[in-house]
Amino acid sequence: MSYHTPESPNFFSADWLRTHIFQTIEFYYPQCMDEENGGYFHCFRDDGSVCDTLDKPLVGIARFIYNFSIGALLGGPLEWRLAAEQGLRFLNRFFRDSVHGGYYWHLKGRIADDPKKIAYGHAFVLLAVSTAVKAGIKEVRKWIEDIYNVLENRFWDGDHGLYIEERSADWQTVSPYRGQNPNMHLCEALIAAFEATGCYKYLERARGLAYAVTVGLAAKTGGMIWEQYDRNWNPDWFYHEEYAGNEFRLYGFILGHSIEWSKLLLKLSVYYSESWITRRAYHLYHCAMALTEDSAYGGLLFSILPAGCIFDADKYYWVMAEAIGASVLFAGLSRHPYYLQKYQSLFLYCDRFFIDHKYGGWYNRLNRENQRTSPVKSPPPKTDYHPIANCYEALRVFSGERFRNLPHFNE
């Protein structure tokens, strides 16, 4: 299904990608800046107006810091670096637990209304701080090791080579729940920590997580990525099977996560010439794309049941963005035109249905027929981190930074 028109953007242009990143940030800035409490607002209507002034999720503030750091890294206005610094100050003052260590999961204003400690949230803190360092905010570099030590001392399950998900605020109570999702984002964050510091222990841990999930856990579930596990890392086939709505503990085979893992494996392949890395990346990408592509309405379906039938047929902005990122990294590594064509077709679909050309930003979720499911464009903790991150990956490919000697593509 083609959405190409003569007016379609040149998605292969580094200049266009940089402009799109900037326009996406501009949807949020400056109205996201909370000048009363500090940090940011996290809920936005279509026109960018704020729809909640108190909710402050850990993941959301970390993603905003990441976004503003990427904007600064790409030569955006000084105000974006200052916005990242404001978020870092708020993170350190109000989210960081000065008594027990680690970071609270959620605040109302400045008060921790959900103080438990979640590995998924700490993954995004590590990603945010590492990206801020890459953007030149060097004074927070020491935070990287501090966050890593919290992860090692409080979340690391050495017997299985994976991170557990949840502990109480004082670390005394450990949830029996285990999930692949925090480990995926910790892999991403650890690669960023390595890129920011040059410290190879972060890269080695990222490689270990990738192997543990995409080889070890996947071997228990037919080669694809299952989301939920018990305390011994055996697949839990029933956790949350009654509904599809939990953003962080999703039921089913979430095909976007298989695609996202393929992208992370390709990023690791820059540093490791181990055949399992590219082999698993290829398998996860192609199996997921074969299962998720919607030939009737375009886009990518969200999840399938263990039996193979569709569980959630909606289209999610982050799945589309991750597929764009994975496709462009495959294009950069293989030079095969299939991946360039896939990258273009995915972006054309997003340009038609997900990108708001009036106000900026991406819509959050569409039904199978590509209709909006909510009047709120950006609920917490969206921030459009996924499109910004994957446009940045594409920019690095087409500018020659990620892979050298890539031909210039105009079509």
| DSSP-based helix, strand, coil % in the chain, nearest 5 | 50, 15, 35
Residue from 75, 186, 70 nearest 121 by CA: 186
Query: Residue 33 has what DSSP assignment?
Result: B
Q: 317-334 vs 337-353: helix axis angle to the nearest 10? A: 160
42 is catalytic: no
DSSP 8-state assignment for residue 235: B
160 labelled catalytic: no
In angstroms, the Cα distances linking 181 to 185, 245, 374, 402 are 6, 15, 25, 25
DSSP per residue, 375-399: SEEE-TT-TTHHHHHHHHHHHHHHT
Distances in Å between the alpha carbon of 93 and those of 79, 90, 381? 21, 5, 20
For residue 89, give the 3-state DSSP assignment: helix
Looking at 42, 357, 386, 408, which residue is catalytic? 386
Nearest to 258, CA basis, from 289, 300, 294: 289
What is the Cα–Cα distance from 390 to 387, expressed in whole angstroms? Answer: 5
Catalytic option among 257, 283, 286, 357: 257
**Taking CA 79 as the corner, what is the angle to CA 76 and CA 82, rounded to the nearest 5 degrees?**
115
Helix, strand, or coil here: 40?
strand
CA-to-CA distance for 217 and 65, rounded, in angstroms?
A: 32
From CA 77, how far away is CA 206, in angstroms rounded?
A: 32
The position carrying tokens 């398998």 is: 283
The C-alpha atoms of residue 378 and residue 44 are separated, in whole angstroms, by 5
What values do phi and psi take at 131, rounded to 5? -70, -35
The DSSP letter of residue 218 is G
What is the set of active-site residues?
257, 386
